Chain A
């Protein structure tokens, strides 16, 4: 009796297994079989942020493309930002690469060096429909590796400083001028730092957090030299930049110290900090949610001018694509056509990478703060991170140890940066040897 029931249960399990995995196997072993004849399916990998709004924008853009190109359908593979790189690499390794992929900036050199994305330099240069001069120069930089173009830029994003006009007015401090310097920033931040109830605890900070890279770059300093082979974080300009951030936090206490930042939410949004680093990605939600008057100003100038750390979205074509021409059509649509650039601008994602369209489409958007034109004016002068190299994440992790100690006010800035320089150089030497080993040279 028991054996009979056991057999029934066993058979049910086997049938369930076949029913569950059989169709999956059939679909994934031949993904094209559900696609109508004459139609090409393109797969593109994208990431979604914490909201569904970004995903909806992409769907609208893809729909517009498919309406114009009925012979192509797009399969969009969304992945959360945090696991995007792993997912993309798994697809490449699993020999099921997407036709096109969004790239995180530091991924482009890695994927290009591994030969898994197309070098588009010649194709783009010989394309009469595409004029690269229409792009902001920095937009092409973020798509390049070793002077070759491995993708096209869809949008650009650089930091600005948002400020709370109400808090400025309350403190009687003049709004920042477009050509302000880091000294001006310190002075203003100090004026806006308040302990209203005199209990020894700061009630309002001059600014929320600082993008250290902006300070370094505008001061003519960077972690690595031009070819990313040596650490340069012990140069006087670099030390001066780091010391400036440290002083702002510890000497003037115009920005929160590390322990004051843990888990307490965004002080700018809570009107407890008068200034905040932000970018175009913040504008839509801030316009909607902030219940105080605010505007933006460009990041301050340093000794080397107003050098802004720039991000953007390069889109690349996988070398494993079987539909290069169709993929290239989609790439051009996403990154060059006015229709796609308008959609992404109007739906509030980012600034178009095309200079002409940024002014024409993005600037007049009603959600923008009053001084958005100053931000767009500065875009021609933007530059990307000078040198990432192939081991950027390791270099950054090593530098962060020193940064943590300095920002905890525990060590001497100069000595610590010298130590980090030595450590990063050792690390780069080791990595270079590994890379030579990989290439068999």
Chain B
């Protein structure tokens, strides 16, 4: 227990060497990794979304690829393509960028739905099928997708069903003045990223994931999760409630958070804490209930909802 606690602390510290001033975002990225989930970062450009993904990949000693999504991106650009080998006239599969441990897909809403769905399928099944042959992806496999909430022109917003594939959706937010100054001062991000040393091996990550599975979740907490899910389905102002997959995501994320917090058991506070990143993109709320931007609106709706559910 203390062993894994140390490992995770190292990991978090290491990420924050590069990704300065936003411990919360770093935490969620690790939670997502431990829960075998994918992360959706929704925020304005230039705030360090890509940096976070890179830092995480670097710290874990895992393969990392970045795909910039554009509207002319094709599924084969992601998954890979079968080519004829001119020497022995055989078909040879050339794996795409998705065959790596951590994949950063920038501006995921810019690609066409066809491409989006190809990748999202891969996220769910951990395998891709190209020309009738199935190829297994690497484990651990984690997608960090980003999208821009401000610019909507020429985008294909992800439908709710596909948003559901992401375990967490987070915002990063602007850094505080002090941290921004520090970022400016230290300069040369690329170099610092290069200098970052991995602290966890892939096997260790797999071990931590299994440990996260074993985190104790009391029965009363399951009831609490069910109650929260039930509340979303009957709440006013929410058009689409939480799916059972959403409930499952709540429990796995809470377990991972508990592990990151150095516990081998979940407490109700874990569930409340993961509720916003887990649920806010899964619920379809009536817009303009609280006078906030859409993303804040949905987060606020989740907060308000939690206040109606009695805690165990």
> Do these two chains really belong together in a complex?
no
